[in-house]
Amino acid sequence: MAEIGERELARLEGIKRTVKGFLNLNPIQRGGILTPEARKAVGEWADGYSLCDFCDGVLESIKKPPIDEFVHETLPRFIDADEVRLTHGAREAKYMVMHAICKPGSTIVADSNAHYSTHVAAERNKLLIVEVENNNYPEYRVDVEKYAERIEEVKEKTGKPPSLAVITFPDGNYGNLPDAKRVGDICSEYGVPLLINAAYAIGRMPVSLRDLGADFVVGSGHKSMASSGPIGILGLRGDLSEQVLRKSSEYKNKEVEMLGCGPRGLPLITLMASFPAVYERVKHWEGEVENARFFIKKIEEINGIQQLGIKPTEHDLNFLETNVFYEISKKHKKGRFFLYRELKKRDIIGVKPGLTKNFKISTYEFNKDELKKIIDAFKEIAMLK
Ligand SMILES: *Cc1c(COP(=O)(O)O)cnc(C)c1O
């Protein structure tokens, strides 16, 4: 072991986080804020392998705490899936499905609003991606009918249908919610398995794998289910499940694609502790959409701010084009960092330092007073010269 300096070690001792008391607009963080119940569980369950006391070799069969029921009953009902598995994130779930059902060198079809992790998961599996394009600025709408064209194209070019189709529901840039059910119909017609990437949906809004007519759906616990994570959920339906959940020939109770076990400890404990509240909040999704629309309406009263993506918005995540802030940044003595500083002065964070032209925000779980405070802050800052 080489020596590690005292100053280097001291830097690890004082790790602090400064979000308390701030309104955080960062979309990736709003749905992952722990519930009080989960926060309470943290102290007790934070040790490594804390939930493995009563494990007989299969994480999902643990009865105390009730993981067995949670994974085999509660979650499958929550998303109308036949089976659910927990992974270390939405990306790991995508990787796992691709690895199980797509041959290396084969082609998959995905929307052009797909998250980068869809591309990286495909790359790691040595898959090629053919994209279903969006209609670009300002809507970035994916025309789901084009899935049929792309599938035909792949068949013609490679002699085989795509080994998988992926649709992002909603995408992580514009919060556009494509007609995933229609993609499900098209894919069934062609016999192409479909995976729905619902990282920004499961835990925020109602999602039914059965109603969407897909084979797989993935979600993200730390993004949308009030879990510390990292944890993802994979919902499976139909014949292809067996291939994804096949067991090791040598270790009879271990699933190969899971590498034998899923997330253990705090990621799962906080997911379970938050679940009753998450189940409840999903029922109030309409209110979240209303709040997002209220916010967008007010913010667009400012000259030089507009929401991109499909309008009116259908999701709490929204992409703002903010030319007014860009113009100010050209003359402001703090330059492009002015917006971050001005927002922080008003107890608002979550817009990356240096961004002024455009950025993403989420209004998830803010109340009306908090929304008004944010709107007023934007209005004040837009008056700066
Ligand atoms: C955040 C996000 C992911 C990644 O989720 P992880 O659980 O961190 O892997 C994947 N897809 C979309 C659309 C996302 O927004």
Which amino acid residue places its CA nearest to atom 1 of ligand 1? 199
| Residue pLDDT, tens place only, 38-68 | 999 999 999 999 999 999 999 999 999 999 9
Query: What is the DSSP-derived secondary structure letter of residue 255?
Result: B
Give me the domains of the chain, ranges plus CATH numbers.
6-30+284-382 (3.90.1150.10), 36-281 (3.40.640.10)
If you average pLDDT over every residue of the chain, what do you get? 97
Give the DSSP letter of residue 73.
Answer: I
pTM: 0.97
**117 CA distance to ligand 1 centroid (A)?**
7
Residue of 85, 207, 223, 315 with the most ligand 1 atoms within 8 Å of its CB, for mutation: 223
Nearest atom in ligand 1 to 229's CA:
7
Q: Strand, helix or coil at 243? A: helix
| pLDDT reading at 385 higher than 80 | no
Residue 190 CA, ligand 1 centroid: distance in Å:
27
Question: What is the pLDDT at residue 16?
Answer: 87
Residue 272 CB neighbour total at 10 angstroms: 24
Number of H helices and number of E strands within the chain? 17, 12
- Beta bridge partners of residue 84, listed in sequence order: 235
How far apart, in whole angstroms, are the C-alpha atoms of residue 40 and residue 228? 12
- Residue 369: phi, psi to the nearest 5? -65, -40
- Are 147 and 185 in contact, with CB atoms under 8 Å apart? no
User: CA 31, CA 172: separation in Å to the nearest integer?
Assistant: 13
pLDDT tens digits for 322-337?
999 999 999 999 999 9
Q: 138-189, pLDDT tens digit by residue?
A: 999 999 999 999 999 999 999 999 999 999 999 999 999 999 999 999 999 9
Does the pLDDT of residue 341 top 80, yes or no?
A: yes
pLDDT value at residue 231: 98
CA distance 106 to 16: 46
Q: How far apart are CA 289 and CA 8, in angstroms?
A: 46
